[in-house]
């Protein structure tokens, strides 16, 4: 089993000022993307840039609750709430794997692509998946992300269940290469 190294890390925290999106995409593109996708694509691109990797061998994303803004908009359409329209775009962008898919399309990345959605374990699972494949020697590099958005309705539901409603926009790059690494990923545990 090979060792796995952390090469870069880019995060936007909820209170952070908006970055200059133009470092990654055009104003037109930014307009077409929702808040979640914009933050996901931007942090991913910056993390890859910092790691000096154009196209990673794998894109593995964790999202605790998925693309809920689009889900809610489509649900409003399905239920005919306040005359909301039924838009296929909302459905297409409601699936959890929309984020990893969009990143792969932008990068032209045909490698391994997966999305985990399991509440607080989503990012940990994505990291474990990518690190396992690097350790096994199946891949050399991976982009791993953790992306979540909050709507007032979901925040209310989570708070009622005692879960802290949190947005996430974190991208990291893992590699088998020790050169220029920020850190070593602790060895994979067997539970």
Rounded to the nearest 5°, which phi and psi values hold at 80? Answer: 60, 35
Residue nearer to another protein on the CB measure, 16 or 124: 124
Q: Identify which range of 41-49, 127-135, 165-173, 174-182 contacts another protein by CB under 8 A.
A: 127-135
Q: Map residues 131-170 to x or -, x wherever contact with another protein holds by CB under 8 A.
A: -xx-xx-x--------------xx--x--xx---------
- State the minimum distance, in angstroms, from the CB of residue 67 to another protein: 10
How far, in Å, CA of 112 to CA of 110, rounded?
7
Residue nearer to another protein on the CB measure, 42 or 116: 116
99: number of CA atoms within 13 Å, CB side?
39
Residue nearer to another protein on the CB measure, 98 or 141: 98
Is 118 a residue that touches another protein (CB under 8 A)?
Answer: yes
How far, in Å, CA of 22 to CA of 42, rounded?
9
Binding footprint of another protein on the chain (CB under 8 A): 1, 59, 63-66, 71-72, 74-79, 81, 86-88, 91-98, 100-102, 104-105, 107-119, 121-122, 125, 129, 132-133, 135-136, 138, 153-154, 157, 160-161, 188-191
């Amino acid at each position: 089993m090979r060792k796995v190294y952390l090469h870069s890390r880019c995060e936007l925290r909820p209170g952070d000022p908006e970055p200059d999106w133009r470092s990654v995409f055009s104003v037109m593109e930014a307009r077409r993307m929702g808040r979640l996708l914009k933050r996901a694509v931007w942090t991913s691109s910056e993390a890859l840039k910092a790691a000096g990797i154009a196209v990673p061998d794998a894109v593995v994303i964790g999202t605790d609750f998925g693309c809920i803004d689009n889900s809610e908009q489509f649900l409003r359409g399905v239920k005919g709430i306040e005359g909301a329209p039924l838009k296929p775009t909302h459905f297409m962008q409601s699936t959890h794997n929309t984020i990893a898919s969009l990143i792969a399309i932008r990068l032209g990345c045909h490698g391994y692509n997966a999305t985990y959605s399991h509440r607080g374990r989503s990012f940990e699972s994505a990291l474990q998946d990518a690190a396992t494949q690097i350790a096994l020697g199946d891949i050399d590099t991976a982009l791993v992300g953790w992306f979540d958005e909050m709507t007032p309705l979901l925040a209310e539901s989570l708070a009622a269940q005692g879960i802290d409603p949190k947005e996430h926009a974190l991208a990291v790059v893992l590699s088998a290469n020790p050169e220029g690494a920020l850190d070593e990923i602790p060895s994979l545990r067997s539970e």
